[in-house]
Each structure stands twice: as structure tokens, then as C-alpha cells.
């Protein structure tokens, strides 16, 4: 699987999990138990991770020639609880279909390398 798509998958899951922790654990603790500690940590963490998610989505969208609409929908998915998981599934399914199946060795990744590997041939003595 191409590295950029893998980076997107990781960021979608991490961003989604941290958002769920923020909204369903940290914010209720802050408002119901008067404990602002978790929100003070998880809130900025989600902000940073979402910024990374945005960069990865923009790079992936550019590399795969997404429409502006699709790019915006995937970006918004990182701000809606559980939506990042559904978006990730759809993006990966579509990418596998377009690339000729999961892990197709002859499929070029976003950088144009066949099989998605950045390998350098070994030097022979």
C-alpha cells in the first residue's frame, strides 16, 4: 500500500480516536466533574493531530486528483465523531479499486514508484 495512503489511514484513526476521547471523556469530565485536566491535554493534542491530518489529506487528495468537494468532505470527517472511520474505509476501498486490488505489485504509488516501495538497488562490488 502506498505510504501516503498508509499515512492517511493512520491519521484518520488516530484523529478519530482522540476526538472521541475529547468529546466523550475529557469534555464531560471538564463540565460535569469540574476536572479540566484531560481537556487541557487532549484538546491541544487533537488540534495538533488534526493539523497533521489536514496536511496528509491535502497531499493525498492532490496525488489522487480528488475533486475539491471530496477533499472537503474528507477534511470535515476529521471533525465529526466516528466520521473519520467511515471516510477512511471509503477512501481505502476506492484506492484499492482504482489501483487494481489490495497491494497490487504493479500499481504505482503517488510518487510513481511501482509497488509503493522506495528501494535503492544494492551496489555490487
CA atoms within 13 A on the CB side of 116: 16
In degrees rounded to 5, what are phi and psi of residue 103?
65, 30
Q: Which three cell numbers stand for residue 31?
A: 463540565
d(CA 51, CA 118): 26
Question: What does the mean pLDDT of the chain come to?
Answer: 86
Residue 25's DSSP bridge partners are none
d(CA 117, CA 97): 19
Q: Which three cell numbers stand for residue 104?
A: 497490487
2 touches 36 (CB < 8 A)? no
pTM: 0.78
> What average pLDDT does range 102-118 have in this prediction?
47
Residues 1-48 have pLDDT tens digits of 689 999 999 999 999 999 999 999 999 999 999 999 999 999 999 999
Amino acid at each position: 500500500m502506498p505510504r501516503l495512503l498508509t499515512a492517511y489511514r493512520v491519521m484518520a484513526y488516530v484523529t478519530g480516536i482522540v476526538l472521541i476521547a475529547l468529546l466523550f471523556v475529557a469534555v464531560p469530565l471538564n463540565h460535569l466533574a469540574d476536572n479540566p485536566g484531560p481537556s487541557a491535554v487532549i484538546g491541544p493534542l487533537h488540534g495538533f493531530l488534526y493539523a497533521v491530518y489536514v496536511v496528509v489529506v491535502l497531499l493525498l487528495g492532490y496525488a489522487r486528483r480528488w475533486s475539491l468537494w471530496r477533499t472537503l468532505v474528507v477534511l470535515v470527517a476529521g471533525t465529526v465523531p466516528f466520521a473519520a472511520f467511515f471516510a477512511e474505509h471509503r477512501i481505502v476501498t476506492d484506492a484499492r479499486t482504482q489501483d487494481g486490488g489490495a497491494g497490487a505489485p504493479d500499481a504505482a504509488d503517488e510518487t510513481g514508484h511501482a509497488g509503493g516501495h522506495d528501494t535503492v538497488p544494492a551496489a555490487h562490488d
